[in-house]
Amino acid sequence: MCNKKIFVTRSSMPTYEEYIEAIKPLWDSRWLTNMGKYHQELEGKLKEYLDVQELSLMVNGHMALEMVIQAMDFPEGGEVITTPFTFISTTHAIVRNGLKPVFCDVKPEDGTIDERKIEGLITEHTVAIVPVHVYGNVCNVEEIQRIADRYGLKVIYDAAHAFGVKYKGKGIGSYGDASIFSFHATKVFHTIEGGAVAFSDPELYEKLFNLKNFGIRGEELVVSVGANGKMNEFSAIMGLCNLRHVEQAIAQRKVVCEEYERQLGGVPGIRRFEKKPETERNYGYFPIVVGNEYPLKRDELYEKLKEQGIYTRKYFYPLTSDQDCFNNRYREMGLECARELAKSVLVLPVYGELEIEKLREIVKSILSF
């Protein structure tokens, strides 16, 4: 029995002293937001760390996705092929842009969009593909790009889970036309709230800048109908502090995930996702798939663990396509694998400071049922 509650994640933080020292200059400058010094510094450093050509910081990951979709100027009512096995933000960003999500099934082995099923969903109205590197599992970026090229579609990745992930030696944000990252407090790297768009077309920088700053380009000049998506200086400084420690945080997560892997390896009915070769991972999540050979159903396991103070998450259940706000409104085709996964997946607690002792308690509980 755990004597203290264990949550699925725990936000990483610099020491109190490090952050306080870092924000001190703001009391002199009084420059608290509007693309200040620290915003610029973080943008530059993240561009380098994420190994991407261009980067625009945003107030959060959702606005990053909403605004980059808007920046692409798709015709109203255009169709966007996407995955329902994701956080609701992905689908909302499409719908809030006046576009129609078309839900594609996912692959059971890693939860990413099933690239073999994308072409069957393409119509004359299709404008883009919005796949998700779910849990940091890398989509089949090569095949998705081939399809996009063949049909003249844009590819925008939701890389909210994939901070620092590399594939074939390249930053994950350098694939597709654009990728968005989330720097929410619960993610591998965070700025309390925050996010970014990574891309390669330099013209997009200007467009995103206008979108996140009301289209203001001079004291008396507004060039486009933008909104407000700016990251403030306190957040940027939190990011600069966290970035100093992120390598270590990922290394700690790796230890946790590898220990889970070892301990749960041979357990009947507990499946783990496949790891794509040539991928540098970030160990953001440890999802398991609860199969028939396991004595409990996923929901029962979730409840039993909760009774013991172990808080796991049913990421991602229900599918976004099944949510009340979208139910039956949009086109989907055979979401059997996605439904099956949503019913059987469970994300176990992972954070750098999760003690191996606690992890053993979690595993012991899973084995005890």
Ligand X SMILES: *Cc1c(COP(=O)(O)O)cnc(C)c1O
How many other C-beta atoms can be found within 10 angstroms of the C-beta atom of residue 256? 22
Residue 25 tokens, joined: 């200059």
Shortest reach from residue 341's CB to ligand X, in Å: 15
Under the binding rule (CB under 6 A), the answer on residue 195 touching ligand X is yes
CA 214 from chain centre, in angstroms, equals: 26
One residue of 56, 83, 90, 140 binding ligand X per CB under 6 A: 90
Task: Determine if 60 is a binding residue for ligand X (CB under 6 A).
Answer: yes
Contact mark string toward ligand X, 284..323, x via CB under 6 A:
----------------------------------------
**CB of 17: closest distance to ligand X in angstroms?**
27
Among 160, 192, 196, 237, binds ligand X (CB under 6 A): 160
Asked whether 153 and 131 are in contact (CB, 8 A), the reply is: no
First to last CA, the chain: 13
Helix %, strand %, coil % for the chain, to 5? 40, 20, 45
Q: Does 62 bind ligand X (CB under 6 A)?
A: yes
Question: Is there binding between residue 61 and ligand X (CB under 6 A)?
Answer: yes
Q: Helix 61-71 to helix 203-212 angle, to the nearest 10 degrees?
A: 120
- Report the amino acid identity of residue 330: Y
Select 192 or 270, whichever has its Cβ closest to ligand X: 192
Taking the complex as a whole, how short is the minimal distance between the CB of residue 132 and ligand X, in angstroms?
Answer: 5
Question: Which residue, 194 or 226, is less far from ligand X as judged by CB?
Answer: 194
Q: In what order do the strands lie in the sheet with 286-290?
A: 270-272, 286-290, 345-348
Name residues whose C-beta falls within 8 Å of residue 155's C-beta, 6 or more positions apart in sequence: 128, 129, 130, 131, 144, 145, 148, 175, 176, 177
Distance CA 311, CA 325 (A): 27
The region of 57-65, 237-245, 265-273, 319-327 touching ligand X under the rule CB under 6 A is 57-65
Residue 86 within binding range of ligand X, rule CB under 6 A = yes
Amino acid at 281: R
Please count the residues of this chain forming the interface with ligand X, following the rule CB under 6 A: 14
> Which residues does residue 102 pair with via DSSP β-bridges, in sequence order?
81
Is 174 near ligand X (CB under 6 A)? no
Q: How does strand 270-272 pair with strand 286-290?
A: antiparallel
Site for ligand X contains 191 (CB under 6 A): no
Given candidates 39, 184, 253, 271, which one binds ligand X under the rule CB under 6 A? 184
Exposed/middle/buried for residue 225 (C-beta within 10 Å: 0-12, 13-18, 19+): exposed
Q: How far is the CB of 146 from ligand X (least distance, A)?
A: 24
Question: Which 19-48 residues touch ligand X, going by CB under 6 A?
Answer: none
What is the per-residue binding string for ligand X in 107-136, x denoting contact by CB under 6 A? -------------------------x----
> Residue from 39, 47, 107, 161 that binds ligand X (CB under 6 A)?
161
Instruction: Tell the smallest beta-carbon distance from residue 284 to ligand X (Å).
Output: 9
Positions that interact with ligand X (CB under 6 A): 60-62, 86-87, 89-90, 132, 158, 160-161, 182, 184, 195
